[in-house]
Structure 1
Amino acid sequence: MQVPEDTLLEALELAHQEIKKLCEVQEELRRQVGKPKWLDPAVTEDIEGRFGSRVREAIASDGLREAAGTVEEIQAELSPELTMESTEEDIVRQVQTRSSLNAILERERLEAVKGPVREQFENELRALTDAEQDSKQLKSAKRQLLFDRIIETVDLPFAAGPATVDGDAPTVSDQMTRQFVKKAAESLYKELVRTKIAVDKRRPDGRDAEEIRAIECEVGVSPRTHGSALFTRGQTQIMTLLTLGTAKEGQRIDDLSLEEERRYMHHYNFPPYSVGETGMMRGPKRRDIGHGALAQRSLEAVIPGPEEFPYTIRVVSETLESNGSSSMGSVCGSTLALMDAGVPIKAPVSGIAMGLVKEGDDYVILTDIQGAEDHLGDMDFKVAGTREGITALQMDIKITGVTQEIMRAALEQAKRAREFILDQMLAAIPEVRTELAAHAPRISSVQIDPEQIGLVIGKGGETIRGIESEFDVQVDIEEDGTILIYATEGTKSDAAIAFVRALTKEPEPGDEYTGKVVKTTDFGAFVELKRGTDGLLHVSNVGPGRVAHIEDVISRGDVLDVKVLEVDKARGRIGLKLVAKHENGDLVQPETLIERAKDAPPREPREERPRDGDRRGGRGRDRERR
């Protein structure tokens, strides 16, 4: 389904109203049976007001690590030790007090370090925000160098390590202080980046809010797969490989959902090397499964139905490099691969990752976010769709206050980005290929009467196995009478289809067949028109003259060309006329056979008389039902 932006906004607003009701039910349940929170904001605010200055004084005089002793003293004052007479309320008060004091200590430690780091290194951290334009390796190296120098050289106005024997200032910072210096530097860097984006309207890599990184599209990059594409956007590169299979090769779904079988599968891989790391490459991780599901959902709306394209489709998106929105890159790459493979999709699909950075009343919506903007931003908003509408949407919101106006603006901005990317993709492959790859399986279908399924299968599967062996194909029969034929070459498939049609076609007057004589009698010969169906060639229909004995000119096992004269469906009889007899590679005409019959020696008449059932034809001698 391709949903217009306005319709989606209405759906989100409607869902929001219902979500409010569900939240109110949960709040009511909490009020009735809920347990006290371990970290209660009211308790934290009260302790902060009464003891916050005492914690700050302890940090200023004793340092970050030693301030923990002051917190323990406050804990003892506020919640006495438990005794055998303690109640549940005493336990709750102790847990809440400890949780609040730990939160206050954590915050005050960070604030105590943040001020000196800001004063001494703000300009260098601000300069580091411009490194987003560099390569990942250079950017990471610059960041590491600066942070290491901050940790080693920052001048803190309190004890930064264990006291010395002589009472001198410590020469080495303790591990806790070093950790908080790093946290402070990271926090300041995040503030500077966010302010730069939301207030100064400048992105870390110098792009405008709606500017998309350079895009490159290639198709047919893997010669052996049935379809392939390479999609590159900035420092994100996806290679998508597609293979086509038969209907029997679909994925069976065994879970609690209503889906039983899946004929379109999208797999997504995110190896460690795509972000410059090393690691074990085992089964798919939660992130891989989620991104694959999003890409699959994005494309399912445009995948043709089995009646139009009776193939199983498997797409694998390999992330070769990643710096923002590899899932949307896999959507674009998969669309290109589908078109390259000749899959008649309803419309091409592109995807884009949007972002939001909000500082106070200032905010900016970002198109094509990269790693830093995703990590430091307030919203990760992925949109996939065609020119007509949205096919998939995923949104991670880290803040409250995302209004309907912001959502509307984000969707409109995302639509412009999708259309721009689609133009770049269609420049690489303007339309779906009209032919499949030379080594892709050929799937053809033919519809028969379900009552004739048993005829195609044959006794013990003899007929269907014979078709597969003779024409080198694979045959799959559906319950509704649809017969799917899979072949590596189109000629083999065409021959198998012609055979099935001939096998299942009811003989009609005027039809011509080539068949083998399966039985002779005094009154004629029975010719097998097709598996399970015989017709009677009466002695009077051999040629323009009389034949006294059919064996004079025709024997069991002879191959004849015959024409249907009449069909008596009520009595199951098919009358035939001889066209020609196959003999030593030549065709012998009926007139020649009549002349032979005149010279034939006399024969003794048979004593057996034909029974009514022996003159049958058309209903089959050994057709088996499933």
Structure 2
Amino acid sequence: MNNVCETTVAGRKLTVEFGKIGMLSDAAVLVKYGDTVILVNANASEKPREGIDFLPFSVEYQERLYSVGKIPGGFIKREGKPSDKSILTARAIDRPLRPLFPKGYRNDVQVVCTVLSVEQDNLPEILAANSASIALCLSSIPYSEPVGTVSVGMVDDNFVINPTVEEREKSPLNLTVSATRNRVMMIEAGGDEIPEDIMYDAIMFGFEECKKIADFQIKLMEVMGKEKKEPICFKVDEAIEKEVRDFAFDMVKEVMYITDKDERNQKLDTVKEKIGEEFNEKYPDNLLDIADVVYRMQKEVVRNMLLNENRRPDGRTFDEIRPISCEVGLLPRTHGTGLFTRGMTQVLTVATLGALGDVQIIDGLGAEESKRYMHHYNFPSYSVGEVGPLRGPGRREIGHGALAEKALEPLIPSEEQFPYTIRLVSEVLSSNGSTSQASVCGSTLALLDAGVPIKRPAAGIAMGLITSEDLSHEEILTDIQGIEDFFGDMDFKVAGTEKGITAIQVDTKIAGLSKECIKTAMNDAKKARLHILGKINECIPAPREELSKYAPRAYTMSINPEKIRDVIGKGGENINKIISQTGVKIDIKEDGTIFILSSDKLSADTAIQMIENVTRDVVIGEIYLGKVTKITNFGAFVEILPGKEGLVHISQLDFKHINKVEDIVSQGDEILVKVTEIDKQGRVNLSRKDAIKESANKED
């Protein structure tokens, strides 16, 4: 039986169909918003997965290029591995849903969002987030807390829900809010230096709309929802828990009060060994129970320390930032480098400048087709003192790299101001809390060191949260380190400049954040950001005036747009000739602007001269030094400018009568010729006699 329900979001119809397709999935919903259509399938395993201590929940966001009428590029004409955009979307859908599953639920749960049709005014990623919540709520999976998601823009100082393409182009704010009927679950934001009070109001504006979408999902559950299965939740044997706690709680508490991280970890390993010696043989089938008890004892001690004793594990006050150091110019051959260290978190960012043709080509569902500014982030296992395989970037690396990229994007100079493609790579050298925000700081240093004229320096910080069980008591932490992130309730990352916020990413492990928490976290983050910006300014107060001697130089020239085809030549013959002879890189814009990139000024000047020659008009009466390209019985063809030839009739080769053209010139000779005529068909007639005569007169 097919069930259909409708509502309105931002003045546009949202339609949910359930029961028509995907009959074998626990829940399969087809959700339409305008002409954007998403299919979401939700399924869960019958039994919990053995031997794990987490919820095995996965969200997949599948882009189908047919949804925008495209055929995939490259040799393999089908979709391959997920794009960065699809990975980021899947992460954004996952984050608000994961904390709302029953605690201890360890069945495999998979939500697959497939994009079937896209109307650019209605973003598929926003619809997919809502559809994922709808599918889980309608399924028999023990999940029943609806989450609404909206995009918020700002046009003419007014907030707009789910802005259209035209509105997004005008908006200095790109905000995504996910929330239940009671609390905000997730925030993802990019902005052009948005003040904290405006960002807060925008979040609350989105929150109100999320409530309406959540209320709609409640009605859907009443009309078409399946009966929920009773969850099988992991629970430790009470007798084992009591034994382990009686034996080890005091030892664990003593260790967790050690402020030095290395010493604390070493002592904790010793305590775990003692616990293992005491209980592993006695309870060989309950090792997961024992590990869970140890984990919860650590968590209990740390949270009590923070919430009730106003003490942090490393002894800092709640608003205190760890010691910071900034360095630039570390690597001699790179174009720019920045080393940022905050406590035991350390990131090295390297900036590389390239030609505009080095942009990243995007084969995706959006209107954007290329990127000239890129940020990539690497998190090797040695950064946390561990051994592990070195593979390509995972979801975490892609997510953290995108966040830092978003933080700096509004500050990157325009193509006209700085005609380079810019790539930043952040190498995490040591990790103990918020490497993504450290990479924002390291990237700012690297850009300044590379001489990139960014609008202003940016910095980032991560805020944390500890709450009581009933959520009535909460404490905000500035600059959280690893242990506070691990045992805490929130990771609230804020990046920006002295003027405002450029990026936010917030996720939580509890049933959402209060309004007071959001406001306090943003205001405290601003104080911390200004402190870090002061350290950056002490290190390098402005972009370097000169680029690295190893960085290529960009030269700009303009030509008549109608001459672009002359520069390119037939089949690219002319431009390839210029590039091969000079070694430069050339990018041509539709308006006739030409960018030339070269590490050698002489090569660049030569390329510019060659382009000028190609685009020069042949003028009647001017004398040119040309090259004989072809000989016929009636004359010689001479190339006077690149790609432009004229005919010297046999009668115009010499003052005396000649029988054969070869008596005067041979193919490949360079001769002076004068333009005597350009006929209506554009054919050029030349005279060697007139050129010789005029040259002789000038000498006299």
TM-score (norm 2): 0.63
* Equivalent in the alignment of 1:381: 492
* Equivalent in the alignment of 2:297: 188
Tell me if structure 2 keeps the 8 A contact 1:109–1:180.
no
> Is 2:699 the counterpart of 1:590?
no
DSSP-derived class of the 1:301 partner: helix
DSSP-derived class of the 2:223 partner: helix
> Is 2:477 the counterpart of 1:366?
yes
Q: Name whichever structure is richer in strand by fraction.
A: 2
* Equivalent in the alignment of 1:353: 462
* Equivalent in the alignment of 2:92: none
* Distance (whole Å) between structure 2 residues aligned to residue 472 and residue 301 of structure 1: 33
Distance 1:474 1:428, change over 3 A: same
Cα distance per residue 1:150-175 (max 9 Å; x no partner): 4556xxxxxx89xxxxxxxxxx6223
* Distance (whole Å) between structure 2 residues aligned to residue 230 and residue 115 of structure 1: 44
Q: Give the C-alpha shift of residue 362 in structure 1.
A: 3.2
DSSP-derived class of the 2:236 partner: helix
Q: Give the C-alpha shift of residue 373 in structure 1.
A: 0.3
Cα distance per residue 1:563-618 (max 9 Å; x no partner): 99999999888999999979xxxxx9624878xxxxxxxxxxxxxxxxxxxxxxxx
Task: Give ranges in structure 2 of 5+ residues lacking alignment.
Answer: 1-190, 650-654
Distance 1:458 1:555, change over 3 A: farther
* Distance (whole Å) between structure 2 residues aligned to residue 110 and residue 382 of structure 1: 39
Cα distance per residue 1:330-388 (max 9 Å; x no partner): 11111211222222222222111111112254322111110000011111111111112
User: Which residue, 217, 222, 240 being the options, matches 1:26?
Assistant: 217
> Is 2:324 the counterpart of 1:215?
yes
Cα distance per residue 1:260-300 (max 9 Å; x no partner): 22222222111111111111112222211211121222222
Tell me if structure 2 keeps the 8 A contact 1:518–1:556.
no
* Equivalent in the alignment of 2:269: 144
> Is 2:234 the counterpart of 1:128?
no
* Distance (whole Å) between structure 2 residues aligned to residue 115 and residue 459 of structure 1: 81
Q: How does 1:184-583 map to 2 (within 5 A)?
A: 184-359=293-468, 361-400=472-511, 402-506=513-617, 515=626, 529-533=640-644
Q: Give the C-alpha shift of residue 418 in structure 1.
A: 1.2
* Distance (whole Å) between structure 2 residues aligned to residue 563 and residue 247 of structure 1: 40
DSSP-derived class of the 1:445 partner: strand
DSSP-derived class of the 2:226 partner: coil
Task: Give ranges in structure 1 of 5+ residues lacking alignment.
Answer: 40-95, 154-159, 162-171, 539-546, 583-587, 595-626
Tell me if structure 1 keeps the 8 A contact 2:241–2:290.
no
Q: Give the C-alpha shift of residue 529 in structure 1.
A: 4.9
Q: Give the C-alpha shift of residue 36 in structure 1.
A: 2.8
* Distance (whole Å) between structure 2 residues aligned to residue 483 and residue 368 of structure 1: 46
Q: Give the C-alpha shift of residue 249 in structure 1.
A: 2.6
Tell me if structure 2 keeps the 8 A contact 1:245–1:441.
yes
* Equivalent in the alignment of 1:622: none
Q: Pick the structure with greater CA Rg.
A: 1
Tell me if structure 2 keeps the 8 A contact 1:384–1:393.
yes
* Equivalent in the alignment of 2:72: none
Q: Which amino acid aligns with 1:590?
A: A
Q: Percent of aligned pairs with the same residue? A: 46
Q: Which amino acid aligns with 1:13?
A: M
Q: Name whichever structure is richer in helix by fraction.
A: 1
Distance 1:299 1:503, change over 3 A: same
Distance 1:429 1:458, change over 3 A: same
DSSP-derived class of the 1:140 partner: helix
* Distance (whole Å) between structure 2 residues aligned to residue 518 and residue 115 of structure 1: 94
* Equivalent in the alignment of 1:55: none
Q: How does 1:52-63 map to 2 (within 5 A)?
A: none
DSSP-derived class of the 2:393 partner: coil
Distance 1:578 1:373, change over 3 A: farther
* Distance (whole Å) between structure 2 residues aligned to residue 255 and residue 455 of structure 1: 33
* Distance (whole Å) between structure 2 residues aligned to residue 185 and residue 471 of structure 1: 67
* Distance (whole Å) between structure 2 residues aligned to residue 216 and residue 550 of structure 1: 83
Tell me if structure 1 keeps the 8 A contact 2:361–2:369.
yes
* Distance (whole Å) between structure 2 residues aligned to residue 245 and residue 488 of structure 1: 11
Tell me if structure 1 keeps the 8 A contact 2:674–2:691.
no
Q: Which amino acid aligns with 1:530?
A: L
Tell me if structure 2 keeps the 8 A contact 1:199–1:363.
no
Q: Once structures 1 and 2 are overlaid, which stretch shifts more, 567-576 or 379-388?
A: 567-576
Q: Give the C-alpha shift of residue 213 in structure 1.
A: 1.1
Distance 1:30 1:150, change over 3 A: same
Cα distance per residue 1:79-136 (max 9 Å; x no partner): xxxxxxxxxxxxxxxxx7xx3xx66x6374566447635xx743x43332222x3243
> Is 2:206 the counterpart of 1:15?
yes
* Equivalent in the alignment of 2:152: none
Q: Which amino acid aligns with 1:128?
A: V
Over aligned residue pairs, what C-alpha RMSD do you find?
A: 4.1
DSSP-derived class of the 1:199 partner: helix
Q: Once structures 1 and 2 are overlaid, which stretch shifts more, 180-189 or 392-401?
A: 180-189
Q: Which amino acid aligns with 1:311?
A: Y
